[in-house]
Structure 1
Amino acid sequence: MIELVLGDITTQHVDVIVNAANSSLLGGGGVDGAIHRKGGPEILAACRELRAGHYGGGLKTGHAVATTAGRLPAKWVVHTVGPVWSATNDHSPLLDACYRNSLKLAADLGAHTIAFPAISTGIYGWPLDSAAAIALTAVAEETANSPGITTARFVLFDQPAYDVFERAFSRL
Structure 2
Amino acid sequence: MEKEFSGVTLECRQGDIVNQKDCEAVVNAANAQLETGGGVAGAIHRAAGPGLAKEASTMAPIKPGEAVITTGHNLPNEYVIHCLGPVYGRDKPEDELLARCYRNSLKLAEENGITSIAFPAISTGVFGYPMEEAAKVAFATIIKQATTLKHLKKIRFVLHSSKDLEVHEKILTEMRE
Secondary structure in 1 matching 2:59 = helix
Q: Is 1:61 aligned to 2:64, yes or no?
A: yes
Structure 1 residues 127 and 70 mapped into 2: Cα distance closer, same or farther (>3 Å)?
same
How far apart, in 1, do the equivalents of 2:57 and 2:123 lie? 23
Contact 2:33 2:57 in 1 (8 A): no
The letter of the residue matching 2:157 is F
Q: Give the Å deviation of 1:147.
A: 2.1
The alignment status of 1:2 with 2:10, answered yes or no, reads: yes
1:150 paired to 2:137: no
Q: Report the alpha carbon displacement of residue 89 of structure 1 after superposing the two structures with TM.
A: 4.8
1:102 partner SS:
helix
Q: What is the alpha-carbon distance in structure 2 between the residues aligned to residue 135 and residue 50 of structure 1?
A: 24
- For structure 2, the 5+ residue unaligned runs are 1-8
Deviation of the 1:86 alpha carbon: 1.2
1:81-92 matches, within 5 Å, as 81-86=84-89, 89-92=92-95
CA drift of 1:60 comes to 0.8
Query: Quick one: percent identity of the two aligned structures?
Result: 40
Aligned to 1:112: 115
Amino acid at match of 2:68: V
| 1:19 aligns to 2:28 (yes or no) | yes
Deviation, structure 1 residue 42: 1.4
Change (3 A) 1:40 1:87: closer
Three-state SS of the structure 2 residue aligned to 1:50 is coil
In the alignment, what sits opposite 1:72?
75
2:50 corresponds, among 18, 37, 41, to 41
* TM-score, structure 1 normalization: 0.93
Alignment deviations for residues 56-111 of structure 1 (CA, whole Å, 9 cap, x no partner): xx101101000111111110000000001118954100000001100110110110
Distance 1:144 1:123, change over 3 A: same
Number of positions where the alignment pairs a residue of Structure 1 with one of Structure 2: 166
For 2:121, the aligned partner's letter is A
The residue aligned with 2:4 is: none
Provide the TM-score with structure 2 as the length reference: 0.90
Could you tell me which runs of 5 or more consecutive residues in structure 1 were left unpaired when the two chains were aligned. Answer: 52-57
Partner of 2:103: 100
Change in CA separation of 1:87 and 1:43 when aligned onto 2, cut-off 3 Å? closer
Residue pair 1:116, 1:152 contacting (<8 A) in 2 also: yes
In the alignment, residue 72 of structure 1 is paired with which amino acid? L
1:42–1:137 distance in 2 versus 1, CA, 3 Å: same
Superposition misfits of 4+ residues, deviation over 4 angstroms: none
